[in-house]
Amino acid sequence: MSVEHRARARRTARVGWALFLLTTVLYVSTAGYHRVHIDVLSADVGAWRIAATGTPSIDGLDTSSINRSRVDLFSTVHDGRTVIARSPGVIAAGVPGYALRQWVSDAGPDAEDFSTVPPTVTAAVLTALSVLLMWGALLRLTSRRNATAAALVFALATPVWSVAADGMWTHTLTVLGISGTAFGAARDRWLLVGLFGGIAVWGRPHTALVTAAVALTCAWLQRRPGIVVRVAVVGAALTLGASLWTFWLYGRWTPSGGYAPTPYLSRGSGAQYDFNQTLGGLLRNEAAMWLSLDRGILVWTPMLVFLLPLVVRTWRTQPAWTRALLLAGVAYTLFQGAVAPFHGGEGIYGYRHGLEFLACATPALVVAAAQAGQRTRVMLQATVGLQFAAFALGGVLNRPTLSFRHQWTDNAFASGLRDVPLLWGWVAISVGLVVLLSRMFLRTDEPSN
């Protein structure tokens, strides 16, 4: 390795560390420690009980002082004990932080000893790691400056900040898994693809679609069946771990944790998930994933509107893994729209069911952005500035949020602008800052690694 190459590698490593530290500090300082969604709170309680008592049972626990929302904690009864019903990963990922807290503070297992801090900090750090991994993947596609800028957009101008980094959501793990999958595929390290694909399965089992699509596509195009073997062996081992966890807590071997497959498959009238009992209801839900004013992927991240046509134009020159990842993201999102309501619940700023698509699409979008003309670049910069203004508000405050009845007809950020006109000044500052920094530091260049 030449002296120049070593110096470049050191500079790249310094940028990576700076990116990781910046996002870690930002995410940890702005995460949701007090206004916690019931999905996240349920997972936190499950992790805490395991760390504090060695058992997942919440029997005898007075949850009234923990859960002050109108919705009960998600729980189920197995083998005569009440346990939290959530995905394996969101509970398991919170256990080490609580175990460390137990060791440091000797906190007890009673309700007054509960805290949301350990898993929330863990979620923030894991999301910062996701940004770092995505940046590492993008380095193989564009220059270091462009990759860093794209990673910052991914980190600060999308619901990655307002959702994945805000608490221990399933999306915290799926975004980590998909970002790691991109990192491994970009570097032809297929054991890593299997590892991170398995991590994503611990968050949401159907992310296996993403890992399988990338592995099968690259194996087929490169005539390398060993890719599938490497990914399958590691991924299967982690999936088995999720199944063992599910059996321990719920007595089932499916890797879905507290979510039994039956509710997703049963569409009878009055079922919890009966929104797609008719074709019209299904199509409406699928459309809402993309277009509803307060949950739509294209509404909250309009940069996609500019970049997707460029993806089509550059499709033949895209690496196989970026194409496979993008198509897998589309397939995953369509599947998600068929099995769960588009909104994902109340008290959410931005969308959450589209985060997996965003992570899957990011590498292909970055390749496409390099082909943008001057006018499109200016529009993209202004749009990113607008997105940053919106998600900085949501990332810091996780407000405002809208109720179910407004999710087709209104948007939380637009509502905030109406209620607090001074926020228009923040929008102007954000757009101007992003445009200025883009013109100062970005350039089209060859990949740095």
Q: Quick one: pLDDT at residue 267?
A: 41
Neighbour tally for 10: CB within 10 Å: 10
Q: What is the pLDDT of residue 268?
A: 38
Predicted pLDDT of residue 309: 93
At 173 the pLDDT is: 98
For 85-121, how does the pLDDT look when each residue is reduced to its tens digit (9 = 90+)?
999 999 999 999 999 999 998 888 888 999 999 999 9
What pLDDT was estimated at residue 344? 87
Give the helix/strand (H/E) hosting 206.
none
Arithmetic mean of pLDDT over the chain: 91
114-133 CB burial, b ≥16 within 10 A, e <16: bbbebbbbbbbbbbbbbbbb
Residues 258, 84: Cα–Cα separation, whole Å: 7
Q: CB-based burial of residue 272 (10 Å sphere; 0-12 exposed, 13-18 middle, 19+ buried)? A: exposed
For residue 196, give the nearest of 42, 359, 330, 422 by alpha carbon.
359
Give the pLDDT of residue 70.
Answer: 79
Task: Find where tokens 């490593």 sit.
Answer: 13
Output the pTM of the full model: 0.94
Distance CA 363, CA 320 (A): 11
Position 445 scores a pLDDT of 47
pLDDT of residue 1: 64
Low-confidence ranges of the chain (pLDDT < 50): 263-272, 444-448
φ, ψ dihedrals at 75, nearest 5°:
-145, 165
pLDDT in tens, 21-40: 999 999 999 999 988 999 99
- Nearest-angstrom CA–CA distance, 108 and 318: 54
Q: Summarize pLDDT for 226-267 with one digit per residue, the tens.
A: 999 999 999 999 999 999 999 999 999 989 887 766 544 444
What is the domain partition of the chain in residue ranges?
Answer: 3-32+121-441
pLDDT digits (tens, 9 = 90+) for 268-284: 333 445 676 788 888 99
Rounded Cα–Cα distance for residues 290 and 282 (Å): 13
- Residue 446, pLDDT score: 46
Query: How far is 348 from 170, CA to CA, in rounded Å?
Result: 14
Q: Where are the alpha helices (DSSP H) in 207-302?
A: 208-222, 226-250, 262-265, 279-291, 297-300
76: phi then psi, degrees, rounded to nearest 5 = -150, 170
Question: 323, 384, 333, 324: which is closest to 355 by C-alpha?
Answer: 333
Which uninterrupted H or E stretch holds 81? strand 81-84
Q: CB burial class (10 A; 0-12, 13-18, 19+) of residue 40?
A: buried
